[in-house]
Structures are given as structure tokens and as C-alpha cells.
């Protein structure tokens, strides 16, 4: 007959086994993520940072192959003196300041419309909004290049009846032509993230607002939007990172841009040019600068939006 001590011992053993099984289950899911995170994210950053600390030096008449020498600040000072690179940084900064708020405002508006009581055919609307994101970025840029080309542009054809036209590849407009492609491609993606967050808003809160006499617009602005703040912060940070990685669209449009898009139009394009020329340490330094700036901006934005909100 088991005693109380035996029963207690068996209970403790069962708890230990359950704890080990629980920890093992967690490890099964966590370890692959950690391995992939280190291999695909941290390792490339550390490699680029290490590479950037060396500089190519040429001697004599430059006929001999260049040699790598440890020179930790040479590439960074060169990057900040490089007008093409700093111009690319300024360009994506302006791009992000204008394009990101416009895109997220559209995404939020569409998500609120989809979440409203009067919305019909929601599944069809979600599919139609998400389809542009499903189109590969290069393919989307090719389609829009056809719509931008003066000889074939259906947009200018329609505007022709009003004696108007848009020079999509002019130096003052081409950046916004690129922004239009990015907005078209990513608005639906961000809308679905915000819409998914809207689905978690308690119905009791909305009903209470209705009982207080709040209309649809008041509920949307004063109840729903504050409760999806974390989703808005997430999509904003993703969009900031995406703006800094601007590459596909300007690269595809470059051959037909009539010189408005140079090979160093964005920081990533500039780094690619440096790498193509064999100057990998300089390209690595440009990449590290871009990563640090994007990380700093994202962190500052996160800290500012986190004030007074413990849910973030």
C-alpha cells in the first residue's frame, strides 16, 4: 500500500518529467529559429561589419593587384564624402517621409471599411487588395514601366483628352513614380495586418460606444484605431525598413528612365555598384551605415510610440 511519502515522490517525479517535456517542446520550436536567425541575419551583418574595417590599397601605378589593409575608418569616411551614396540616403529619406504615411493611411482606411458593418463581399475585397502583393516586385515594376512609357502610357492617353500629361520619368517626378509602384504593391499587405488586428477588438466595447451615441466615424477613430495601435506601429517599422531597401523598382525602371535614375540612385544600388567594381569593403561599409541608420530610426520611432502604452 503506497504511503503519503511515496505518493509525494511520484508526484514530484511526474512534475519534473512534465517540466522536461515542456522544455523539450519549447526547444524544438526555438532552436531552429535561433539557428536560422544567427545564420541568415546576425552572421551576414557581422561579416559585413568585419569586412568594412579593411580597405583596398593600391601602390605604384596601380598595375599591381590591390591589397587589403586594416583601416577601420577609411571606408566610412569615404562613404560620407561620397555624394552618390549620401544623395541616395537623402532620396530614400524623402521617399519614406512621404510614401510611408500615404500608404499606411490608405491601408488603415481600407481596413476600417472592410471591418465596417456595411461592407459586402469581404472575401473578394480582401483577395483583390492582396493580389498586388502576390505579384513579384520585378514583374510589378515591368507592368508599371509600360504604363509610364510616354508612347504606350494609358494614363497619358486618358489625360490627353484634357490636354494634360505627366512626365513620369522627369527628375522631379520619377521618385513619386517609384513610390506609386511601392504603394500599389504593399498597401494590401499592410491592410490585412491592420484588418486582422481589428478583428480582435472586443464587440462589447464597440456596442458600448454605440449605446453612448457614437457614430461609425467616431467609433472608427476613437475606439478602433487606438486599439490597433500595435499593428500600426508594426506596419510602420516594416515600411521604414522597406523604404531603406528600395532596389527592385528603380533598377527595373533605370534603362527607360531617360537618365533620371542613376546606377547609384538608392543606397543599396550604390553598394551594389561598389561590389561590382570589386571594392567589397567599401560596399560593406555602405551596407553597415544603412543598417545602423535604419535600426536607429526604427528604434526611435518605437520608443516614441511606446510612451504611455504598455501593450507595445
Q: What is the pLDDT of residue 10?
A: 46
Whether 53 is in a domain gets the answer no
Q: What is the pLDDT of residue 92?
A: 94
Whether 59 is in a domain gets the answer no
Pairwise CA distance, residues 249 & 247, whole Å:
6
Whether 254 is in a domain gets the answer yes
Q: What is the pLDDT of residue 273?
A: 85
| pLDDT greater than 70 at residue 212 | yes
Q: What is the pLDDT of residue 41?
A: 84
- pLDDT bucket at 274, cuts 50 / 70 / 90: confident
Pairwise CA distance, residues 191 & 187, whole Å:
6
Pairwise CA distance, residues 269 & 76, whole Å:
17
Mean per-residue pLDDT, 218-241:
92
Q: What is the pLDDT of residue 284?
A: 92
Return the DSSP state at 65. Answer: P
- pLDDT bucket at 306, cuts 50 / 70 / 90: confident
Mean per-residue pLDDT, 75-99:
94
Pairwise CA distance, residues 293 & 285, whole Å:
12
Distances from the Cα of 9 to the Cαs of 3, 12, 16, 147, 291, in angstroms?
10, 5, 11, 76, 55
Poorest-pLDDT segment among 69-73, 158-162, 175-179: 158-162
| pLDDT greater than 60 at residue 15 | no
Mean per-residue pLDDT, 108-118:
87
Q: Can you say how many angstroms the Cα of residue 29 is from the centroid of all Cα atoms in its chain?
A: 25
Mean per-residue pLDDT, 180-207:
93
CATH code for the domain in which residue 198 is found: 1.10.3720.10
Whether 226 is in a domain gets the answer yes
- List the grid coordinates of 204: 462589447
Q: What is the pLDDT of residue 14?
A: 55
Tally of domains within the chain: 1
Pairwise CA distance, residues 18 & 259, whole Å:
66
Pairwise CA distance, residues 216 & 116, whole Å:
8
Pairwise CA distance, residues 198 & 217, whole Å:
15
Neighbours of 157 (CB within 10 A): 10
| pLDDT greater than 60 at residue 124 | yes
Return the DSSP state at 261. Answer: S
Neighbours of 172 (CB within 10 A): 8
Whether 183 is in a domain gets the answer yes
Exposure letters 7-22 (e unless 16+ CB within 10 A, then b): eeeeeeeeeeeeeeee
Q: Which residue has the higher pLDDT, 305 or 293?
A: 293
Whether 268 is in a domain gets the answer yes
| pLDDT greater than 80 at residue 278 | yes
Whether 25 is in a domain gets the answer no
pTM as predicted: 0.83
Task: Please give the backbone phi and psi of residue 67, each rounded to the nearest 5 degrees, phi first.
Answer: -115, 150
Distances from the Cα of 141 to the Cαs of 137, 233, 254, 263, in angstroms?
6, 27, 11, 16
Please give the angle made by the CA atoms of 108, 114 and 117, to the nearest 5 degrees: 125
Whether 276 is in a domain gets the answer yes
- List the grid coordinates of 290: 544603412
pLDDT tens digits for 27-80? 787 888 889 989 988 898 899 999 999 998 877 666 667 788 889 899 999 999
Domain coverage including residue 212 = 83-307
Amino acid at each position: 500500500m503506497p504511503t503519503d511519502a511515496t505518493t509525494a515522490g511520484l508526484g514530484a517525479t511526474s512534475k519534473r518529467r512534465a517540466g522536461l517535456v515542456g522544455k523539450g517542446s519549447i526547444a524544438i520550436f526555438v532552436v531552429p529559429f535561433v539557428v536560422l536567425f544567427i545564420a541568415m541575419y546576425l552572421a551576414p551583418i557581422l561579416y559585413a561589419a568585419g569586412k568594412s574595417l579593411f580597405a583596398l590599397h593600391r601602390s605604384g601605378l596601380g598595375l599591381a593587384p590591390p591589397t587589403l589593409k586594416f583601416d577601420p575608418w577609411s571606408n566610412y569616411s569615404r562613404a560620407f564624402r561620397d555624394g552618390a551614396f549620401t544623395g541616395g540616403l537623402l532620396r530614400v529619406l524623402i521617399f519614406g517621409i512621404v510614401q510611408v504615411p500615404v500608404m499606411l493611411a490608405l491601408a488603415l482606411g481600407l481596413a476600417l471599411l472592410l471591418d465596417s458593418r456595411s461592407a459586402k463581399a469581404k472575401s473578394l475585397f480582401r483577395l483583390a487588395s492582396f493580389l498586388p502583393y502576390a505579384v513579384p516586385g520585378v514583374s510589378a515594376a515591368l507592368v508599371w514601366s509600360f504604363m509610364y512609357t510616354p508612347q504606350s502610357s494609358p494614363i497619358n492617353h486618358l489625360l490627353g483628352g484634357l490636354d494634360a500629361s505627366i512626365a513620369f520619368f522627369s527628375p522631379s517626378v520619377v521618385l513619386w513614380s517609384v513610390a506609386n509602384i511601392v504603394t500599389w504593391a504593399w498597401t494590401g499587405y499592410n491592410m490585412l495586418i491592420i484588418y486582422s488586428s481589428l478583428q480582435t477588438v472586443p464587440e462589447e466595447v464597440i456596442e458600448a460606444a454605440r449605446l453612448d451615441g457614437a457614430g461609425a466615424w467616431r467609433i472608427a477613430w476613437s475606439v478602433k484605431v487606438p486599439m490597433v495601435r500595435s499593428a500600426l506601429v508594426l506596419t510602420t517599422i516594416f515600411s521604414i525598413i522597406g523604404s531603406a531597401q528600395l532596389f527592385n523598382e528603380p533598377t527595373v525602371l533605370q534603362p527607360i528612365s531617360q537618365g533620371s535614375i542613376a546606377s547609384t540612385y538608392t543606397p543599396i544600388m550604390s553598394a551594389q555598384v561598389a561590389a561590382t567594381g570589386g571594392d567589397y569593403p567599401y560596399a560593406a561599409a555602405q551596407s553597415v551605415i544603412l543598417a545602423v541608420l535604419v535600426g536607429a530610426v526604427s528604434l526611435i520611432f518605437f520608443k516614441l510610440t511606446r510612451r504611455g502604452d504598455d501593450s507595445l
